[in-house]
Amino acid sequence: MKAIIHIGLKPGVLDPQGRTIARSLGDLGFSEVKQARQGKVIELDLAGEDITIAETRVKDMCEKLLANTVIESYRIEIED
């Protein structure tokens, strides 16, 4: 089974990486870029067959290690 976890900064949290990307793209002539935000994606290969259990476990992984829930939000997709 595969879990895909999307982690991004919560709205309102300053995103210096995103600002740097937007400015650099502007400097390269891509003047249509108004804003950029950067997030991360973690793909996990999981043993086991039960999607409900996997979802609970992956949520636990996010809370304990993968996401900094003070400033980041996350979204989990489970694929068979």
Question: What does the binding site for its own copies look like in residue numbers (CB under 8 A)?
Answer: 6, 8, 18, 21-22, 24-25, 28, 30-48, 54, 57, 60-61, 64-66
CA atoms within 13 Å, Cβ hemisphere of 25:
14
CB of 34 to its own copies, least distance (A): 4
CB of 57 to its own copies, least distance (A): 6
Instruction: Output phi, psi for 51, to 5 deg.
Output: -65, -40
Closer residue to its own copies in complex, CB, 9/70:
9
With 0-12 / 13-18 / 19 or more C-beta atoms within 10 angstroms meaning exposed / middle / buried, residue 57 is middle
CB of 12 to its own copies, least distance (A): 15
With 0-12 / 13-18 / 19 or more C-beta atoms within 10 angstroms meaning exposed / middle / buried, residue 5 is buried
Closer residue to its own copies in complex, CB, 32/70:
32
